Amino acid sequence: MALDTIHLTVDLGERSYPIIIGSGILADAALLRQHIGDGQVLLVSNETIAPLYLDALTSALGAEGGEAKDGGAKDSIVLPDGEQYKQMATIEMIFDALMDKRHNRSTTLVALGGGVVGDMTGFAAASYQRGVKFVQIPTTLLAQVDSSVGGKTGINHPRGKNMIGAFHQPVAVLIDTQTLSTLPPREFQAGLAEVIKYGLICDDDFFVWLEKNIDKLMRRDSEALQYAIARSCENKAKVVAADEREGGIRAILNLGHTFGHAIETATQYKVWLHGEAVGFGMLMALDLSRRLGLLAESDVQRGEALIEAAGLPINPPAGLPDADGMIELMGMDKKVLNGQLRLVLLRAIGDAFIADDVGIEILKQTLNDYLNRTA
Ligand code: NAD
Ligand code: GLY
């Protein structure tokens, strides 16, 4: 039985936008045209995703370079694939394509890809002619549940990840769950870390649902997947609507990320995917919450069981520094405020908060335990 398409809204006043989640959206020309429009369009993808899905999109919108109803050409650019290309030189490739094809201020950029393509396309849209429209068509699980929603766009600087960027909301997020059929297993599992994150930070019922349905998700059961993506987006949309620019509560979306970024930096982003590092970081955040007397041991165990069932690592990678070295790397993170390390902790499953007074000695106990874990 075909599943109904799910429609959600990110409620941001005049900048509100829909999130549409369904199977086969890339074949739905009417829906794509409704949200992307008939004017000038630049489709941005990468060399892995373009051969799989770009043709479907261009034919739904009208031939490549061809004229739409109001004379707007549908152009495309295919970027190199990889986090190492999330940088200024690649953004310039997008600007060059826009200039070459004479795109004006009413153009729409469309990101067809994972978080890397989405973040770069969004940043190009935020800055081209001081800001043009963009649509997200995310094709990884991580992008479908996290990076495509909320308007964080940007690129890396050689000295720091996501250091250059802008808040720029898309005008629509169109999620075709069928694209996940080609996603490699490790990438899929890394996306599950962000799905589990929503249960942990703000949705204990969803966490229970995940405990019951993780096997279905691992089999990529289409009904379970659509539900998990929609519920994740719903949670993200609520947090973003409450705090668009991360003045406060939005930071709970970073559960596990300060630990995770330290792991990624220590291993030069070469060993673990982001979601894998976030999964292990969430284990440490749960443990620290328990040590501080906030969280029951049984909840720490439930968190670990779910993260392990999602195929994510529960032991550290080789090559990490000791606890002091990790704390130094954690101090480099963007989430440091006035020299104090801010961490997202849990009072219960589904109840996260931001702590900026965590003692270094107790943090070291968690780090020592988790850094010395062996399989
Ligand atoms: P990614 O974009 O690098 O995609 C992972 C790999 O999967 C790539 O090789 C990609 O080409 C490939 N791929 C994508 N879709 C595919 C498909 N359907 N079939 C086969 N292969 C496919 O990685 P990601 O995990 O999607 O995103 C990570 C990026 O997202 C990071 O740069 C991170 O900083 C960013 N991010 C941004 C936000 C935000 O709020 N803006 C949130 C989280 C992460
Ligand atoms: N991924 C964290 C955020 O969007 O704020």
Average pLDDT, the chain: 94
Report CA(202)–ligand 1 centroid distance (Å). 24
**Percentage of the chain lying above the pLDDT 90 cut:** 88
Going by pLDDT thresholds of 50, 70 and 90, the confidence category of residue 3 is confident
Report CA(291)–ligand 1 centroid distance (Å). 34
Ligand 1 pocket, mutate which of 25, 86, 140, 173 (most atoms under 8 A from CB) = 140
Residue 180 pLDDT greater than 60, yes or no: yes
- pLDDT tens-digit profile of 95-127? 999 999 999 999 999 999 999 999 999 999 999
pTM (2 decimals)? 0.96
- pLDDT tens-digit profile of 28-62? 999 999 999 989 999 999 999 999 999 999 988 88
Sequence ranges of the domains in the chain:
6-181, 185-371
Q: What is the mean pLDDT of residues 354-373?
A: 94
Q: What is the mean pLDDT of residues 166-180?
A: 98
Q: What is the mean pLDDT of residues 334-356?
A: 86
Best CATH choice for the domain 185-371 from the list 3.40.630.10, 3.40.50.720, 1.20.1090.10, 3.40.50.300: 1.20.1090.10
Q: What is the mean pLDDT of residues 136-158?
A: 97
Atom in ligand 2 nearest the alpha carbon of residue 236: 4
Q: Whose CA is nearest to atom 33 of ligand 1?
A: 115
Output the pLDDT for position 69: 47
Going by pLDDT thresholds of 50, 70 and 90, the confidence category of residue 325 is very high
| Ligand nearest, relative to CA of residue 56 | 1
CATH topology for 6-181 is Rossmann fold (3.40.50)
Going by pLDDT thresholds of 50, 70 and 90, the confidence category of residue 65 is low
Rounded to whole angstroms, how far apart are CA atoms 126 and 134? 9
Output the pLDDT for position 161: 87
